[in-house]
Amino acid sequence: MDLSEEHLNGLERALAVSGSHSLSHVLAAVRRNEAQLWVENDACIVTEVNVAPNHKELHFWLGTGSLDDVRALIDKLLVWGKEIGCDVATLTGRRGWTKVLAADGWELTTVSMARRL
């Protein structure tokens, strides 16, 4: 894995939003081939491939980097997802991504909510 300090810091900031995983958890999932790590230029994206009875999903789990580089890498990963048989792509992220990615064909389909207990 060829991650810069900036990529590592960006992934940690993204993980801090949900608190569900640490960076070491994510990197372990990548090593176990349960997740995929993609680095190109300033962009760093972590994906998962999830198989359900009715579809195969390319899920964009984490991302960091300049907006242009992230969007360019997303485009390449969508092609890769289709090549491996995925028929849908999903992503988890902050609400701001809905505006940014709408022009690229992404639609808001569900809302995920959380509450601290």
From first to last of its 117 residues, the chain has per-residue pLDDT tens of: 578 899 989 999 988 887 788 899 999 999 999 999 999 999 999 999 999 999 999 999 999 999 999 999 999 999 999 999 999 999 988 888 888 888 899 998 887 777 778
Residue ranges of domains in the chain = 5-102
Sheet holding 55-64, edge to edge: 36-40, 43-52, 55-64, 88-91
Please, are residues 77 and 38 in contact by the beta-carbon 8 Å criterion?
yes
As assigned by CATH, the class of the 5-102 domain is alpha beta
Distance (Å, whole) CA 80 – CA 53: 21
The one-letter amino acid at 40: E
40: which strand partners?
Answer: 43
Tokens of 107: 């639609």
Say whether pTM exceeds 0.85. Answer: yes
Distance (Å, whole) CA 50 – CA 73: 20
Tokens of 79: 């092609």
